[in-house]
Amino acid sequence: MAQLKPGSVAVPEIPVEERVELPASETAVIVVDMQNDFVKPEGRLFVPTAPQTIEPIRKLLEKARKAGVKVFYTQDTHYEGDPEFKIWGEHARYGTWGWEIVEELKPVEGRDIVVRKTRYDGFYGTPMDDLLRVYGIRNTVIVGTVANICVLHTAGSAALRWYKVYVPMDGISALNDFDYYAALRQISFLYKGVVVRSVDGIEFK
Protein backbone atom coordinates (compact mmCIF):
# COMPACT_ATOMS: atom_id res chain seq x y z
CA MET A 1 0.00 0.00 0.00
CA ALA A 2 1.38 3.39 -0.96
CA GLN A 3 2.14 5.65 1.96
CA LEU A 4 0.84 9.18 2.09
CA LYS A 5 3.51 11.86 2.18
CA PRO A 6 3.08 15.35 3.59
CA GLY A 7 2.99 18.12 1.02
CA SER A 8 0.80 20.24 -1.15
CA VAL A 9 -2.40 18.87 -2.61
CA ALA A 10 -3.69 20.39 -5.81
CA VAL A 11 -7.29 21.56 -5.62
CA PRO A 12 -9.34 20.23 -8.54
CA GLU A 13 -11.10 22.93 -10.51
CA ILE A 14 -14.29 24.05 -8.83
CA PRO A 15 -16.78 25.84 -11.10
CA VAL A 16 -17.77 29.18 -9.56
CA GLU A 17 -20.75 31.28 -10.57
CA GLU A 18 -20.56 35.05 -10.26
CA ARG A 19 -24.32 35.61 -10.13
CA VAL A 20 -27.45 33.56 -9.59
CA GLU A 21 -31.08 34.65 -9.43
CA LEU A 22 -33.44 32.50 -7.39
CA PRO A 23 -37.23 32.58 -7.02
CA ALA A 24 -37.97 33.94 -3.54
CA SER A 25 -41.05 31.77 -2.99
CA GLU A 26 -39.14 28.54 -3.69
CA THR A 27 -35.88 29.35 -1.90
CA ALA A 28 -34.73 29.09 1.70
CA VAL A 29 -31.55 30.31 3.35
CA ILE A 30 -30.12 27.84 5.87
CA VAL A 31 -27.66 29.29 8.38
CA VAL A 32 -25.63 26.45 9.87
CA ASP A 33 -24.38 26.59 13.47
CA MET A 34 -23.39 30.24 13.71
CA GLN A 35 -23.14 29.87 17.48
CA ASN A 36 -20.81 31.44 20.01
CA ASP A 37 -18.82 28.25 20.62
CA PHE A 38 -17.80 28.17 16.95
CA VAL A 39 -17.73 31.85 15.97
CA LYS A 40 -16.34 33.69 18.98
CA PRO A 41 -12.63 33.46 19.98
CA GLU A 42 -13.57 32.46 23.52
CA GLY A 43 -15.81 29.67 22.24
CA ARG A 44 -14.99 26.03 22.93
CA LEU A 45 -14.53 25.07 19.25
CA PHE A 46 -13.55 28.39 17.68
CA VAL A 47 -13.21 28.44 13.88
CA PRO A 48 -10.68 31.22 13.13
CA THR A 49 -12.27 32.34 9.85
CA ALA A 50 -15.86 32.22 11.12
CA PRO A 51 -15.96 35.86 12.29
CA GLN A 52 -15.19 36.96 8.73
CA THR A 53 -18.42 35.36 7.52
CA ILE A 54 -20.69 37.29 9.89
CA GLU A 55 -21.02 40.35 7.67
CA PRO A 56 -21.59 38.45 4.40
CA ILE A 57 -24.21 36.27 6.09
CA ARG A 58 -25.87 39.35 7.59
CA LYS A 59 -26.08 40.92 4.12
CA LEU A 60 -27.56 37.73 2.67
CA LEU A 61 -30.17 37.57 5.42
CA GLU A 62 -31.10 41.19 4.85
CA LYS A 63 -31.72 40.51 1.16
CA ALA A 64 -33.58 37.30 1.89
CA ARG A 65 -35.94 38.82 4.44
CA LYS A 66 -36.63 41.82 2.22
CA ALA A 67 -37.60 39.46 -0.63
CA GLY A 68 -39.75 37.24 1.60
CA VAL A 69 -37.36 34.28 1.49
CA LYS A 70 -37.74 31.77 4.32
CA VAL A 71 -34.79 31.70 6.71
CA PHE A 72 -33.81 28.63 8.72
CA TYR A 73 -31.09 28.26 11.32
CA THR A 74 -29.57 25.03 12.54
CA GLN A 75 -28.49 25.13 16.16
CA ASP A 76 -26.05 22.44 17.25
CA THR A 77 -27.46 21.17 20.53
CA HIS A 78 -25.93 18.76 23.03
CA TYR A 79 -26.84 17.58 26.49
CA GLU A 80 -24.96 16.11 29.45
CA GLY A 81 -23.12 12.92 28.55
CA ASP A 82 -23.48 13.36 24.78
CA PRO A 83 -21.17 10.83 23.05
CA GLU A 84 -20.00 13.56 20.67
CA PHE A 85 -18.15 15.18 23.59
CA LYS A 86 -15.69 12.26 23.39
CA ILE A 87 -14.80 13.36 19.86
CA TRP A 88 -14.79 17.17 20.13
CA GLY A 89 -14.94 17.91 23.82
CA GLU A 90 -17.91 19.63 25.39
CA HIS A 91 -19.47 22.24 23.08
CA ALA A 92 -22.83 23.79 22.17
CA ARG A 93 -24.32 22.48 25.37
CA TYR A 94 -28.00 23.35 25.65
CA GLY A 95 -28.67 26.54 27.58
CA THR A 96 -25.07 27.79 27.69
CA TRP A 97 -23.64 30.96 26.15
CA GLY A 98 -21.71 28.85 23.64
CA TRP A 99 -24.93 27.23 22.42
CA GLU A 100 -26.55 30.54 21.56
CA ILE A 101 -26.61 31.90 18.00
CA VAL A 102 -24.29 34.91 17.71
CA GLU A 103 -25.92 38.23 18.52
CA GLU A 104 -25.05 39.72 15.11
CA LEU A 105 -27.15 37.09 13.32
CA LYS A 106 -29.98 36.53 15.77
CA PRO A 107 -33.11 34.95 14.25
CA VAL A 108 -36.10 37.23 13.88
CA GLU A 109 -38.69 36.16 16.43
CA GLY A 110 -41.87 34.89 14.80
CA ARG A 111 -40.37 34.89 11.31
CA ASP A 112 -37.25 32.74 11.13
CA ILE A 113 -37.20 29.06 12.08
CA VAL A 114 -34.56 27.51 14.33
CA VAL A 115 -33.98 23.76 13.97
CA ARG A 116 -32.04 22.14 16.79
CA LYS A 117 -29.82 19.27 15.72
CA THR A 118 -27.74 16.79 17.69
CA ARG A 119 -25.41 15.61 14.92
CA TYR A 120 -23.57 17.21 11.98
CA ASP A 121 -26.49 16.94 9.56
CA GLY A 122 -29.24 19.55 9.82
CA PHE A 123 -31.76 17.00 8.51
CA TYR A 124 -30.88 14.06 10.75
CA GLY A 125 -33.56 13.61 13.42
CA THR A 126 -35.02 17.08 12.77
CA PRO A 127 -38.15 18.44 11.01
CA MET A 128 -36.04 20.29 8.42
CA ASP A 129 -37.21 18.31 5.38
CA ASP A 130 -40.85 18.47 6.42
CA LEU A 131 -40.66 22.24 6.98
CA LEU A 132 -38.99 22.87 3.63
CA ARG A 133 -41.67 20.86 1.86
CA VAL A 134 -44.48 22.60 3.76
CA TYR A 135 -43.18 25.92 2.41
CA GLY A 136 -42.68 24.62 -1.14
CA ILE A 137 -38.91 25.05 -1.09
CA ARG A 138 -36.85 23.78 -4.03
CA ASN A 139 -33.61 25.75 -3.60
CA THR A 140 -31.41 26.10 -0.52
CA VAL A 141 -28.70 28.69 0.02
CA ILE A 142 -26.46 27.26 2.71
CA VAL A 143 -24.02 29.30 4.79
CA GLY A 144 -22.32 28.87 8.16
CA THR A 145 -19.74 26.65 9.81
CA VAL A 146 -17.93 24.26 9.87
CA ALA A 147 -17.57 23.91 6.08
CA ASN A 148 -16.43 20.29 5.85
CA ILE A 149 -18.52 19.06 8.77
CA CYS A 150 -21.96 20.49 9.48
CA VAL A 151 -22.21 22.61 6.32
CA LEU A 152 -21.16 19.72 4.08
CA HIS A 153 -23.39 17.15 5.76
CA THR A 154 -26.38 19.48 5.67
CA ALA A 155 -25.73 20.36 2.03
CA GLY A 156 -25.35 16.67 1.18
CA SER A 157 -28.60 15.78 2.91
CA ALA A 158 -30.40 18.58 1.09
CA ALA A 159 -29.05 17.43 -2.27
CA LEU A 160 -29.95 13.79 -1.61
CA ARG A 161 -33.52 14.97 -1.04
CA TRP A 162 -33.40 16.77 -4.41
CA TYR A 163 -33.14 20.32 -3.13
CA LYS A 164 -30.80 22.40 -5.27
CA VAL A 165 -27.89 23.66 -3.16
CA TYR A 166 -26.16 27.02 -3.51
CA VAL A 167 -23.14 27.97 -1.39
CA PRO A 168 -21.51 31.43 -1.41
CA MET A 169 -17.76 31.18 -0.83
CA ASP A 170 -17.66 34.10 1.59
CA GLY A 171 -20.50 32.65 3.65
CA ILE A 172 -18.76 29.52 4.98
CA SER A 173 -15.73 28.91 7.17
CA ALA A 174 -13.45 26.02 8.08
CA LEU A 175 -10.57 25.22 10.40
CA ASN A 176 -8.08 25.30 7.51
CA ASP A 177 -7.88 25.87 3.75
CA PHE A 178 -7.81 22.17 2.92
CA ASP A 179 -11.11 21.55 4.70
CA TYR A 180 -12.65 24.66 3.13
CA TYR A 181 -11.84 23.68 -0.45
CA ALA A 182 -12.58 20.00 0.15
CA ALA A 183 -16.09 20.98 1.22
CA LEU A 184 -16.63 23.17 -1.84
CA ARG A 185 -15.31 20.41 -4.09
CA GLN A 186 -17.69 17.83 -2.63
CA ILE A 187 -20.68 20.15 -2.77
CA SER A 188 -19.95 21.02 -6.39
CA PHE A 189 -18.74 17.66 -7.72
CA LEU A 190 -20.60 15.07 -5.67
CA TYR A 191 -23.84 16.89 -4.89
CA LYS A 192 -24.01 19.03 -8.04
CA GLY A 193 -24.38 22.14 -5.95
CA VAL A 194 -23.63 25.63 -7.20
CA VAL A 195 -20.68 27.50 -5.70
CA VAL A 196 -21.19 31.26 -5.88
CA ARG A 197 -18.29 33.72 -5.56
CA SER A 198 -20.01 35.90 -2.97
CA VAL A 199 -23.32 36.60 -1.29
CA ASP A 200 -23.32 39.76 -3.40
CA GLY A 201 -23.95 37.58 -6.43
CA ILE A 202 -27.11 35.98 -5.02
CA GLU A 203 -30.35 37.71 -5.90
CA PHE A 204 -33.94 36.80 -5.09
CA LYS A 205 -36.80 37.62 -7.43
CATH number, domain containing residue 141: 3.40.50.850
Residue 3's pLDDT is what? 60
Catalytic residue among 37, 40, 82, 150: 150
- Residue in 143, 117, 150 with CA at minimum distance from that of residue 131: 117
CB burial of residue 49 (10 Å; 0-12, 13-18, 19+):
middle
Please give the average per-residue pLDDT across 119-126, as a whole number. 98
Is 159 among the domain residues?
Answer: yes
Q: Is 130 a catalytic residue?
A: no
Please give the average per-residue pLDDT across 115-119, as a whole number. 98
Is 1 among the domain residues?
Answer: no
Q: 35: pLDDT confidence band, cut at 50, 70 and 90?
A: very high
CA distances (Å), origin 168, targets 1, 116, 143, 196, 201:
38, 23, 7, 4, 8
Total of domains in the chain: 1
- In the chain, the N- to C-terminal Cα span, in Å, equals 53
Is 9 among the domain residues?
Answer: no
Q: What is the extent of the structural domain holding 197?
A: 16-204
Please give the average per-residue pLDDT across 92-104, as a whole number. 98
Is 3 among the domain residues?
Answer: no
Q: For residue range 132-188, what is the model confidence (pLDDT) as tens digits?
A: 999 999 999 999 999 999 999 999 999 999 999 999 999 999 999 999 999 999 999
Q: Is 117 a catalytic residue?
A: yes
Residue 9's pLDDT is what? 80
Give the burial string for 50-81 (b: 16+ CB within 10 Å, else e): beebbebbebbbebbbeeebbbbbbbbbbeee
Catalytic residue among 40, 70, 117, 164: 117
**What is the distance between the alpha carbons of residues 70 and 49, in angstroms, rounded to a whole number?**
26
Is 188 among the domain residues?
Answer: yes
DSSP 8-state assignment for residue 71: E
Is 119 among the domain residues?
Answer: yes
Catalytic residue among 33, 76, 112, 170: 33
Mean confidence (pLDDT) of the chain: 96
Is 6 among the domain residues?
Answer: no
